[in-house]
Amino acid sequence: MNKEAINLPGPELTPQETVAELDRYVVGQHKAKRAVAIALRNRYRRRQLQDSLREDIRPKNLLLIGPTGVGKTEIARRIAGIANIPFVKVEATKFTEVGYVGRDVDSMVRDLVEVSMNLLRTKKFAELEPKARNRAHEKILDILLPESRRHHPLSGFEKSSEKFSNVSIGIEETDSTASARQKLSEELKSGRLDEKEVEIDVNEHQTPVVEVFSSQGGFEEMGINMQSIQSMIGNILPGCSRRKRVTVAQARDIFFSEELSQFMEHEDLQKEAVSLAQESGVIFIDEIDKVASSFVSKTGPDVSREGVQRDLLPLVEGTSVMTKYGMVKTDHILFFAAGAFNVSKPSDLIPELQGRFPVRVEFDKLSVEDFKRILTEPKNSLVRQYQAMLAIDNLEVEFTSEAIERIAHFACEANEMHENIGARRLHTIMEQLMDEASFSAPQNLTGRYEITRETVDRVIGPLMKDRDLARFIL
């Protein structure tokens, strides 16, 4: 596999096409969708340039600003699926400054390469699966119909016969043997022989002891490539073969795994994974506002939060991080940072980090109209989810337009009365509203079940009138 073989990212979409795809899942927030679509398209444009110019063009990282529940994370998550690119979401509050106990920021890059490797494995699996399954099928046939049953061209003489040593010893199948093999193959494919037991040789490779330590990430942080060391030791230590009695179905899986492993070129796959992460990877850092300087105290357990910002700087600016698949350069990884910034402001981030996120997008506050659209328009909207779930129990749920409007009104009102949690408020209201139907179906409730404005007022209305109760339940 050479570098040009990396085509995992799906068909390159224009910014307009990207926004149209996002519209299927996220309501409103056109400015944010537009900014994200442009950032993705610019990566494609950069890859088409000459090498001399391409290396100097850095990604324009995005800072997404808005209250919780308005779609910041959803937009980033959907982008990964649409573009088929390596994507990692991390919480800024999970990291600590170097020297403190906890995860260091370099671990997000190692996670990104692992995701990249999994994407490539999935792609390779789809390409090699038919060939590997066919080889596994043939191996099982050889066990069920051993080679000894096939005849030498000179019937009656053994292959080792010196008298006929000048005769080709290739095996030829007689018509009857070929017919029996074909019949057995059909039975094997149909699954009728799955429970039959056979004896097979299972290859067992000795696992190097260093693998226990490599999972902790400590060696990677010291710049030691544990994958290469494990591979080297694994080649030195001989594998052993063990005779095992298994069913045909189990044998098929074992042989399939062995054949697939032989077809996979692990070294080339690792290089490709590193290159894919470097060129197409996206890291989404959520809750970035929680490590802003005005948000944290200068003593106690939060003393390292500002240090996290300083540790993030090299990653966002461009550095090299050792992973178990090799060295990864972060120069062209695209970073999204998001935060509500209720207590702190973007200007409270250290100046150097502010400069690394040149594109800032402020998310719009959700209105009653937005809530109505969120309930009905997205491909997998909340209303469709409840309808599909209860249809399993033969309950056909219908929402009237007045009920949808009333739910949206209550969600907006609850956000104004209490903490603004955005579209997540719909989840709490819908759970209260659908509680009776979810509990009664299917034993006491089947058929058509209509949610009307009166139903919403009866269930949610009393909760909204009692502010203390609403604070705990909604």
Mean pLDDT of the chain: 79
- 333-342: average pLDDT: 91
Dihedral of alpha carbons 296, 301, 306, 309, sign: negative
Structure tokens of 88? Answer: 């990692």
Tell me which fold the domain 368-462 belongs to.
Helicase, Ruva Protein; domain 3 (1.10.8)
Confidence of residue 101 (pLDDT cuts 50, 70, 90): low
**Model confidence at 216: pLDDT above 80:** no
Question: Where in the chain are the domains?
Answer: 3-116+273-362, 128-269, 368-462
* Res. 164 pLDDT band, cuts 50 70 90: very low
Q: What is the mean pLDDT of residues 445-471?
A: 84
Q: Torsion-angle region of residue 410: left (phi > 0), alpha (psi -120 to 50) or beta? A: alpha
pLDDT at 229: 56
Fold classified for 3-116+273-362: Rossmann fold (3.40.50)
Question: In three state form, how does the secondary structure of the chain look?
Answer: CCHHHCCCCCCCCCHHHHHHHHHCCCCCCHHHHHHHHHHHHHHHHHHCCCHHHHCCCCCCCEEEECCCCCCHHHHHHHHHHHHCCCEEEEEHHHECCCCCCCECCCHHHHHHHHHHHHHHHHHHHHHHHHHHHHHHHHHHHHHHCCHHHCECCCCCCCCCCCCCCCCCCCCECCHHHHHHHHHHHHHHHHCCCCCCEEEEEEEECCCCCHHHHHCCCHHHHCCCCHHHHHHHHHHHCCCEEEEEEEEHHHHHHHHHHHHHHHHCCHHHHHHHHHHHHHHHCEEEEECHHHHCCCCCCCCHHHHHHHHHHHHHHHHHHCCEEEECCEEEECCCCEEEEEECCCCCCHHHCCHHHHHCCCEEEECCCCCHHHHHHHHHCCCCCHHHHHHHHHHCCCEEEEECHHHHHHHHHHHHHHHHHCCCCCCHHHHHHHHHHHHHHHHHCCCCCCEEEEECHHHHHHHHHHHHHCHHHHHHHC
pLDDT at residue 295 is higher than 60? no
Instruction: Reply yes or no on whether the pLDDT at 471 is more than 80.
Output: no
In this prediction, residue 105 has a pLDDT band, given cuts at 50, 70 and 90, of confident
**What is the per-residue pLDDT across 363-417, written as a single tens digit (0 to 9) for each?**
988 899 999 999 998 888 999 999 999 999 999 999 999 999 999 999 998 888 8
Which has the higher per-residue pLDDT, 242 or 254? 254
Per the model's pLDDT, the better-predicted residue between 262 and 310 turns out to be 310
Binning pLDDT at 50, 70 and 90, where does residue 159 land? Answer: very low
pLDDT score of 456: 92
Residue 220 contacts residue 324 (beta carbons within 8 Å): yes
Q: Note the pLDDT of residue 294.
A: 62
Same fold across 3-116+273-362 and 368-462: no
Do 161 and 147 touch, CB atoms closer than 8 A? no
Q: Is the pLDDT of residue 92 over 80?
A: yes
pLDDT bracket for residue 97 (50, 70, 90):
low
Higher pLDDT, 251 or 96: 251
Looking at 77-86, 96-105, 221-230, which range is the least confident one? Answer: 221-230
In the prediction, which pLDDT does 4 show?
Answer: 39
- Distance CA(391)–CA(437), nearest Å, equals 11
pTM of the model: 0.74
- What is the total residue count of the chain? 474
Contact of 185 with 145, CB cutoff 8 Å: no
CA distance 361 to 76: 13
Percent over 90 (pLDDT), the chain: 29
- pLDDT bin (cut points 50, 70, 90) of residue 214 is very low
**What is the per-residue pLDDT for 211?**
43
Which span out of 266-270, 300-304, 318-322 was modeled with the highest average pLDDT? 318-322
Determine the pLDDT at residue 243.
79
